Amino acid sequence: MLWILKLIRSFLSVDLPICYECLSATPTVWCLNCSVEYCSGCWKRIHKGRALSNHHKVPIDKKPREYQRCTIHPDEKLQYWCNCDTLICVDCQLTKQHQHHSTISVVDAAQDIIEQVCRKMFLNVKNNSRKLIF
């Protein structure tokens, strides 16, 4: 299930906003040096010492977009979900290893997963509410 969340977060930019430090507050800043999101309270607490005081922060909505890169072809972004359950780049798609596999864009794959999860959640709620009524 964790890979689903990573896939959604990485490729759809669907953020599940949470402060890296306290794991509860909504992040408001991105530290360019730490490469993590902080709420304002944690940012101030962590970066008040001399060692981290020169770090640069940007508002969370100005955070640079992150892309996962292919380990085999580092210049390529991972853009496809292969039926062998692997994220691959356009170059990997052409190799013998994946040549005859079916692929789908990660955006479409993530959207399919979101729809499946929503359907299952709806059915669980519907079934559990019937049990409570009867």
Q: Enumerate the domain spans of the chain.
A: 15-62, 80-133
**DSSP β-bridge partners for residue 38:** 29
pLDDT in tens, the chain (134 residues): 455 555 555 554 444 678 889 888 899 999 989 888 999 999 999 999 888 989 999 999 888 766 688 899 988 888 888 989 888 999 999 888 898 999 998 888 888 888 888 888 888 877 776 666 55
Find out if CATH 3.90.320 is the number for domain 15-62: no
HSE-CB for 41 with a 13 A CA cutoff? 8
pTM (two decimals):
0.45
CA torsion sign for 46, 50, 56, 59 is: positive
- Residue 119, classed as helix, strand or coil, is helix
